[in-house]
Amino acid sequence: MDNWKNKLYFGDNLNILRKYLTDESVDLIYLDPPFNSNATYNVLFQEKSGAKSAAQITAFEDTWEWGQESEFAYEELVKESPKKLADLIQAFRMFLGQNDMMAYLTMMAQRLAELHRVLKPTGSIYLHCDPTASHYLKLLMDAVFEPQNFRNEIVWKRSDAKGDTGQGAKHFGRVNDTILFYAKSDNNLFNPLYGELDADYVESFYRYKDPDGRRYKLDNMLGPGGAAKGNPFYEVMGVSRYWRYSKERMKQLIEAGRVIQTKPGTVPMYKRYLDESKGTPMTTNWSDISHLRGWSNEKLGYPTQKPEALLERIIKASSNEGDVVLDPFCGCGTAIAVAERLHRRWIGIDITHLAITLMRHRLNNAFPKDLSPYEIIGQPRDLESARALARESEHSGRYQFETWATGLVDAFPLHSQKKGADKGIDGYINFFDDNSGKAKTIIVQVKSGHVNASHIRDLKGVLEREKAPIGVYITLEEPTKPMLEEAAAAGFYEPEHWQGNLYPRIQILTIRELLDGKKVEYPRHAPVATFKRAQRQRKSNGEEQNRML
């Protein structure tokens, strides 16, 4: 525990699970796989204009579409999986054929098998999905985790009532997500949680009051099942019955004033105070947790972002302080942020550099003073690994190198799948240097191959077109002398309200320099506005109580 470091992994979670996570090392798993037949599941972020971004490009295209990779995964499952899972995946293929859903289920089967391996015997897993695939996924979970380890099918009301009958729909509004809760064994950890009592219930049942105003209700003390269940038979206040308490315990309750007889001859009742109630035991209908609305302080601009209250409930119910929480599709990092706040250890995995950058900002903003040590594994740490990422990106066309490089300067990536559509902008940094409330923008360009002075001249043109005060040119190769001269000739940006502070209008930064810690020069007296800042949070104090959620 003392040497533990929380971890963010960049890469395919199947490879990460197989390479880095040992057997039975995780206490709780939450996953929200990016599949929805009604959405473009590989588009995870929005541009600053609000339009959908292609920054992720095709992060999951190969994985969730049937092709050679799916065929290999299918054959591996059939040959190497336990018979129950192998039989199920073959039955799926006979029923579904070779399509996107089959590809999705094949890849999920591989990952669920690995998640079962890394989960402790006392552990639990919560799989978040929608009705598009929940019925198939439940069968997969049965095959991997065994039907007897199914605990709940939780329904979360993820949005307000929708009525799209005006567009010709012939169905009820679709507002629910499904969360499949399974355990590793019958020895899973579970902390019961309670919600607030309904106001009408309180008014109807807690209708009695002590002279000091303390409210209470009267509860039955009879032993259920009578003698057959071993309940003792004796007389209390002139009434002989089978009671749920021993004679000695009943005597203590009477002396404490907790047994009351409303009138002679009636069955004595237990006096239960409202302020002693834990609340209503939590059920599988989670309609009390609102989705993130546009004005929510939590909202970070990530379309599939889940509310922290949802993850808090799951983490509190199925883990204790110091336990390890894993999210293998962690996106913007809600699960790990909540785990950090609740004093859990955590592991997050994502396949995009953009998500890793966003999570890093979220954690640092939310916990500026008491963030637990963590490390990022899988991102380039030296020039050679940066060159390897550039070669891989060039081959795949996924812009992962540009996304990673813009993250080195805390810029938001901006890419398009159409050549030239980015208009010479690979990323941007927003900053404030006056009181107008309007951010200024730094334009970021990234080059991994041959560089020359014409690139700097082009960047100058982009600055003029976008009316941007500063441009940053990030290069994997060393800049030429003409490039440096061209950049110097661009002069300096001097903030109107901070005269005397000069910042080069064109700044050339090499990957080597950035890895060594060099920063972009610009006014930093105000918070950077590139990423929406996560709220500062306080960690829970000491051993937590089962708070009402």
Quote the CA–CA distance of 519 and 196 in Å, as a whole number. Answer: 50
Kindly state whether residues 290 and 255 are assigned to the same domain.
no
Mean pLDDT over each residue of the chain, to the nearest integer:
86
Average pLDDT (333-339) is 95
521 in any annotated domain: no
Residue 59's pLDDT band (cuts 50, 70, 90): very low
Report helix, strand or coil for 274: helix
Kindly state whether residues 273 and 228 are assigned to the same domain.
yes
| Least reliable range by pLDDT among 70-79, 275-284, 362-371, 411-420 | 411-420
Kindly state whether residues 163 and 266 are assigned to the same domain.
no
| Least reliable range by pLDDT among 76-90, 221-235, 278-292, 522-536 | 522-536
Kindly state whether residues 259 and 357 are assigned to the same domain.
no
Residue 251 CA from chain centroid, whole number: 52
Kindly state whether residues 183 and 45 are assigned to the same domain.
yes
Q: Produce one character per residue of 461-476: b if its CB has 16 or more CB atoms within 10 Å, e if not.
A: eebeeeebbbbbbbbb
Per the structure, the count of domains in the chain is 3
545 in any annotated domain: no
Domain boundary among 264, 280, 296: 280
**Strands, E assignment, 239-381:** 239-242, 259-260, 269-273, 280-281, 285-286, 324-327, 345-350, 374-377
Kindly state whether residues 266 and 292 are assigned to the same domain.
no
Quote the CA–CA distance of 132 and 37 in Å, as a whole number. Answer: 7
Nearest partner of 119 among 313, 328, 314, 270, judged by Cα: 328
pLDDT at residue 381, as a whole number? 87
Kindly state whether residues 116 and 38 are assigned to the same domain.
yes
Average pLDDT (336-346) is 97
147 in any annotated domain: yes
Kindly state whether residues 431 and 471 are assigned to the same domain.
yes
549 in any annotated domain: no
Residue 420 pLDDT > 50, yes or no? no
pLDDT at residue 400, as a whole number? 80
Counting every residue written for the chain, the total comes to: 549
Kindly state whether residues 205 and 187 are assigned to the same domain.
no
Tell me: the pLDDT tens digits for 446-463? 999 889 999 999 999 999
pLDDT at residue 238, as a whole number? 96
For the domain that residue 286 is a member of, what is the CATH number?
3.40.50.150
| Residue 174 dihedral angles phi and psi, to the nearest 5° | -95, 105
| E strand or H helix at 63 | helix 61-64
69 in any annotated domain: yes
Average pLDDT (64-87) is 92
Quote the CA–CA distance of 199 and 517 in Å, as a whole number. Answer: 57
For the domain that residue 507 is a member of, what is the CATH number?
3.40.1350.10
Residue 224's pLDDT band (cuts 50, 70, 90): very high
Residue 103 structural domain: 6-193+282-377
Strands 440-447 and 427-431: antiparallel
Domain boundary among 280, 314, 340: 280
Tell me: the pLDDT tens digits for 5-45? 999 999 899 999 999 999 999 999 999 987 644 343 333 34
Kindly state whether residues 362 and 236 are assigned to the same domain.
no
13 in any annotated domain: yes
User: Which amino acid type is present at position 479?
Assistant: P
Radius of gyration of the chain measured on its C-alpha atoms: 29
pLDDT at residue 509, as a whole number? 97
Report helix, strand or coil for 545: coil
pLDDT at residue 160, as a whole number? 74
pLDDT at residue 462, as a whole number? 95
Is the CB of residue 271 less than 8 Å from the CB of residue 256?
no
Tell me: the pLDDT tens digits for 260-289? 999 999 999 999 999 999 999 999 999 988
Kindly state whether residues 188 and 41 are assigned to the same domain.
yes
544 in any annotated domain: no
pLDDT at residue 532, as a whole number? 64
Kindly state whether residues 305 and 405 are assigned to the same domain.
no
541 in any annotated domain: no
Residue 48 pLDDT > 60, yes or no? no
Average pLDDT (367-387) is 91
Average pLDDT (194-210) is 92
Domain boundary among 280, 313, 341: 280
Tell me: the pLDDT tens digits for 118-175? 999 999 999 999 888 899 999 999 999 999 999 999 999 988 766 565 667 788 888 8
Quote the CA–CA distance of 282 and 107 in Å, as a whole number. Answer: 33
